[in-house]
Each structure stands twice: as structure tokens, then as C-alpha cells.
Amino acid sequence: MTASASYDVAVVGAGPAGATAARELALAGLRVALLEKAPLPRYKVCGGGLVGRSLRALPEKTLREVAAHPCATALMGVPALGREFVTRRSTPIVAMVMRDRLDRALTGLAQDAGATLVAEAEVTGLDTGPHRVTLATRKGPLTAATVIAADGVNSRLARLAGWAPNPHAVPAVEWEVRVPDATYRRFAGRARFDMVIPGGYAWVFPKGAGHLSVGAMTILRQRMDLHGRVARYLAGLGIHPAGEPARHGHQIPIAPRARCLARGPVLLAGDAAGLADPVTGEGISHALGSGTLAAQAVLAAGGDPARAAARYQALLEQSILPDLRAARRFAELYYLHPRVTAWGFRLWGQTICEQVTEVMMGRRGYHQLRWDIVPAMLGLGRAGRP
């Protein structure tokens, strides 16, 4: 890339949000640069659980290539009650993916559509001129009319464009665990979630061939040894790893950044905007969704970045943001009031699990659960059936 490289749109970050935005824009004929700091493919700390609503949003070809080990059964363990709740569906509730493969497949589609992928091109500077933005990258500068920042939870682009750090980023850890076949068979075919973490939960995802992804998240701010808790969780489930697990930690943004998610010529998408689900920590769905909306806004604005920003904010307000607000209220009730939660689960555990499963499937949103679940959790009335 040279200093004269000039694009309609620069998309920063080749995760699900950035790759999706780049593909949509390139398909429409715009000149698009997709800038990624890492060499590709790259490991991404993630459970790699593709919930039903992600599966519905992904291109068919990508699913065929990378999604595997579908789980049409989910188990929620509530040790405080000594109970396990099981939900079943005729189609997968969660399918499994390794993020290096998913993200490489999505960037491949963006390239096929005509986007220019530049790997190992970390963006280090942003200069917003009157008509065009200049980005400094490790592979030289480039200019674009509009920038879509999809560079993850700690978005450097957001900082460079004037946003404060997102105060709602919470810790999460992920272990890649190899287990003997007999152990694997106990966990194959279903996604497991256990309420064993204060203010959060732990999970076991079967990834095939003796590979389990095991992790934990919490929405509590207090310091917590999540790795230690995962070690105890494994022991409690009788999982004895064959070899040392690969341990990783990162953050999940459980609320959007304050005020607008687009400012001047810069639009934030995915984790950079703070769009992960605060109840489950699942972020791929809204990364895909916001990448698409950012592209639609740019296209609808006909080359006017200010109009694109306003349009993007409006599109988010019509779809993702109201649901995330409802999810946040639900997450705070669910995780910050354990006695109310335990009471709700004792009375309505199966209903709560069925309805959260419906959200994961993308069949309803959290805002549609409000009248069903909250009164139920407070023991004030009957929960609606899914």
C-alpha cells in the first residue's frame, strides 16, 4: 500500500463486524480497504459458540465451510438449587466454530466481493480532514471518505476519534481443553451453561475430536480469579485435561458506548461499539448485524459521511439498541440479585431457560421477554410460555 492509496471506505478490523461491512460495501461497488493488525488467520479469544441468531445471519457458504458440532440441546445448571434445566429444539441452538476459520472465511468473502484486505496493517493514527480521513497504518497511510471502526472491544479507532474507553467491558476467559474420548462423549452434542460464577456463568462447548472450549464471564466489577474458577469448574465436572489447557483471557463489552455510535466520518461496529449481549456475552450476532447496518447506512448516504453517521445511529435505534437495553435490565436482575434469581429459577426455571433459548435462536428479543420473565422472577405472576 502506498501513501496515495485512496478508498471510499476504510474498514478497520477483520472480525465478523468488519468483514461483513467490507463485503456488503464491496458488493455495492464501493472501493473498500479492510485493514487488520494481525496476520491472518489469527486466534481470537472466543467460545466460538454460534447461537441460532448468528447462524441465521451468516452466509450459507460460510456455515458449510466452518460451522460444526451443532447442539440442538442446551443444559443450564443451577447448583444453588441442585437443578439442571434442559432445552431442546429441532434445529441447532448453538453450533461450534473456531474463530480463526470463521473470520478467515468472512474476510475471504469480502475479498471475493472486491474489498482490498491488508493484513498486518495496524491502524495507529487518524486525521479527520474537511473532506477525507487519513489513517496511519503499519503499512503506510491511506485516505477514505468514511471509516468503519470494527477493531474490537478496546477499539483504538474509537479512542482516536474521541470516544472515552467503554466502561462496560467485563472480563471473560476461555480455555481450549483436550480430553480423553470417554470424557468428551459425556459433553458431546449439547452446550452446557452453569451458574457457578458470581455475576456470570461458565460454559462447556464441545468442539469435536476430544476438544472442549471451556470458559467463564462475569458482569461484576470486583477482581475475581476467573481462571481459578474455571479450574475448579473443570474439576467439579470431572474433566481431567489431557495435557495443559491453552488459557486465554479478554473482555466483553456488555453495553454500548455512551451516546452516539457514529461521529463525523467514523462509525463504530461490533465490539468496538459495545454491542455484545450482556446476558450471554455472545457478540458475533450483533457484530454481523451492525456490520451490515453500517454498510447500509454508508450506501444510503450516497457518499455523505455525516448523513451516513445519522442513518447508522437511526438504524441501530430501530433494531439492536432497544433489545440491548432490555437485555441489560434482564442481566442486572439475573446476575446482580442472586437470591431473586434463585427464587425465580425455583418457580419458573424451565420457562426462563426456554425463553432465553428463544432469544439465542433469534426467534424473539429480550424486549419481548420483559412482561414474561421479570414478573415471573419476582414471583408476581405466571410466566408466558415460549
Ligand X SMILES: Cc1cc2nc3c(=O)[nH]c(=O)nc-3n(C[C@H](O)[C@H](O)[C@H](O)COP(=O)(O)OP(=O)(O)OC[C@H]3O[C@@H](n4cnc5c(N)ncnc54)[C@H](O)[C@@H]3O)c2cc1C
Residues in contact with ligand X by the rule CB under 6 A: 12-18, 35-38, 44-49, 54, 122-123, 150-152, 156, 172-174, 215, 250, 252, 270-272, 276, 281-284, 287
Residue (123 or 179) nearer to ligand X, CB? 123
Closer residue to ligand X in complex, CB, 226/376: 226
Q: How far apart are CA 155 and CA 158, in angstroms?
A: 5
Nearest approach in angstroms of CB 121 to ligand X is: 6
Cβ-based nearer residue to ligand X, 34 or 309 = 34
Least distance (Å) between residue 378 CB and ligand X: 29
Q: Which is nearer to ligand X, 151 or 354 (CB)?
A: 151
By C-beta, is 49 or 206 nearer to ligand X? 49
Complex with ligand X: residue 35 or 63, whichever CB lies closer: 35
| Minimum CB distance to ligand X, residue 156 (Å) | 4
Answer for the pair 19, 291: CB distance below 8 angstroms, yes or no.
yes
Q: Is 24 or 151 the residue whose CB approaches ligand X more closely?
A: 151
Q: Which is nearer to ligand X, 152 or 200 (CB)?
A: 152
- Least CB distance from residue 133 to ligand X, whole Å? 14
Q: How far is the CB of 338 from ligand X (least distance, A)?
A: 22
HEC-encoded secondary structure of the chain: CCCCCEEEEEEECCCHHHHHHHHHHHHCCCCEEEECCCCCCCCCCCCCEEEHHHHHHCCHHHHHHHCEEEECEEEEEECCCCEEEEEECCCCCEEECCHHHHHHHHHHHHHHHCCEEECCCCEEEEEECCCCEEEEECCCCEEEEEEEECCCCCCHHHHHCCCCCCCCEEEEEEEEEECCHHHHHHHCCEEEEEEEECCEEEEEEECCCCEEEEEEEECCCCCCCHHHHHHHHHHHCCCCCCCCCEEEEEEEECCCCCCCCEECCEEECHHHCCCCCCCCCCCHHHHHHHHHHHHHHHHHCCCCHHHHHHHHHHHHHHCHHHHHHHHHHHHHHHHHCHHHHHHHHHHHHHHHHHHHHHHHHCCCCHHHCHHHHHHHHCCCCCCCCC
Smallest separation, CB 103 to ligand X (Å): 7
- CA 98, CA 48: separation in Å to the nearest integer? 6
Give min distance, CB of 171 to ligand X, in A. Answer: 8
Min dist CB 251 to ligand X, Å, is: 6
